[in-house]
Amino acid sequence: MTSTASPHGGGPRPRAFPFAAVVGHEDAKLALRLAALDPLLGGVLLRGQKGSAKTTLARGLAAELDDAPFVELPLGATEDRVVGSLDTRAALAGGEISFQPGLLAAADGGVLYVDEINLLADHLVDVLLDVSVSGENLVERDGVSHRHPARFVLIGSMNPEEGELRPQLLDRFGLCVDVAASLDAATRVEAVRRRLTFDDGQGVDIDHVSDAWSPDATPSAALGDEILDAAAHLALAVGAEGLRADLTLCRAARALASGESRSTVHTDDLRRVAPLVLAHRSRHNPFDPPVVPPDELEQAISETLDPRDDDNSPEEGDDVHRDADSAEGNRDSGTRRPMAIGAERRPPTSPQARAEPSRRGRTIGDRPAGPNDPIAVVPTVRSLAGRPAGASLDRGDLRTATRERHRDRTVVLCVDVSGSMGAEQRAAAASGTVLGLLTGAYEQRHSVALVTFGGDGAAVVLSPTRSVEVARNRLGTLATGGETPLARGLHTALDVAQQTIAQGHDALLVALTDGRATGSTDALDRALDAAAAIARSSVDALVLDCETGSARLGLAARLADAMGARYIDVRDLDPVRITHSIADAREGQRPD
């Protein structure tokens, strides 16, 4: 295979490892080929650990499609770089407004690959999914409308440990596959052997690989009523919402039959594509697993598609009909879960954060430029259009962009897990609060971190994360006991908060404590000094007083005063109440 020109104009691209030579990953290969045959399926999401051949598969697919363009979208790409922009050079030279294509245009006829798509801005993921299905990119900006073809296979990959996609975006991916490196030694040896052979410049021997796929086939296989009926019952069996699952099942089964040069779709085609289509479509809130466990999915498929005899051929009268009420009952009792605490709390972004005259962020309009504002060329050219030749230009004629800038927020929860009274209740409340905060902040893409202190020091139990799955795995059972090194806990939490601020995020430090500090005679003084350091920082703070008993010392209130923080009494340690209190504090302003 020879090198081909890069769509970025950077010279020939390197040889791609042959798609068919990738060892294993048969489900991923099938999903990618189905999406290439029928773009209406939407994108393919590859979920898996690093080094599991996700990028190799994406590059290999482009090479298999007659060396089609392969465009990799960087996470830092701006919206203009992705969808295209107006040519400012042409506007400056002659006042002519023209369109400058972006990455979507470069990917036309090929593959657009986004690694770590779960970390890409949500509005860009929306654009990619829309265009991948429609095959056209429509840009309307600054009074100019431009449309161009952009038909490509969208492939997104992600490591689930770095956070999941929002359910709304996850559902819009047509196909989803979990990709993992094989645990079989012989399989791994064969994969390494083929890769080393390829890297040495030799051809990879794949003659023994059975591959009857037709990449140029047209998805035209006939869909009978029994297939439509079976697809509907499969979607109901896993609790999929809307009709997207039903449509995708039918399209994927038809593409499979067509790719294998068959004229009729069989029930077995549905069985083969169902895991790719349905595994990610039963999630209704972030506490649900991102994909259905394989055994549960296989059970739903078997109960829906298995005939009364062993013949899977539709000509023999597959019994795919199931009672709709029964399917609804299975869905309601087996796959849906109640909405978790805080899930409906969506703190609004302030108007200043939504639209600010900044050099960064998404352009949403323009306004007259101030003395220190950057000049937006195209809006300025447009505002001058039609003026008499030779007319003077003053500062009031210049325009600057109004941008929408999203700032991520991180809540750093600092919790006392020492051996003092109520330690186990505090630990349980901390776990419930972290999960509740992540649920409530899920759509805003906010993060939560957890710092605990007890015994000899403090520890970052959970680094800032947006992933409920990661939090649930890390929290487990928090160990309690020992002294109460409150000062260390506050200093550690402050360090975490300041690191997030340095990365351009907002931070809220929340201390769940009764204010007691032990371990030395000056432990309380050192804790108050740490609180004063938080007050001097740019970190917003909240103290949740969990002191119990009739004789209250009021140390947490004293700590809040030294910290310049808001103060709330939460002695009942109800995670729901704590979650709501933190969400309310996150909406408010730092007290003077």
Which positions are catalytic?
Answer: 244
Q: What angle do CA 258, 259, 264 make, to 5 degrees?
A: 25
3-class secondary-structure state, position 590: coil
In this structure, are residues 527 and 559 in contact, taking their beta carbons and an 8 Å threshold?
Answer: yes
Contacts of 166 (CB under 8 A, 6+ apart): 122, 442, 443
**Residue 318 CA from chain centroid, whole number:** 39
For residues 323, 328, 334 and 338, what is the CA-based torsion angle, rounded to 10 degrees?
-170
In terms of Cα–Cα distance, which of 460, 472, 570, 473 is closest to 515?
570
In this structure, are residues 132 and 112 in contact, taking their beta carbons and an 8 Å threshold?
Answer: yes
Q: What is the torsional sign of CA 162, 164, 169, 173?
A: positive
In this structure, are residues 156 and 173 in contact, taking their beta carbons and an 8 Å threshold?
Answer: yes
Strands, DSSP E only, in 31-143? 44-48, 70-72, 85-86, 99-100, 111-115, 136-141
Contacts of 511 (CB under 8 A, 6+ apart): 414, 489, 490, 493, 541, 542, 543, 544, 559, 563, 565
- Strand-strand pairing, 566-569 and 540-545: parallel
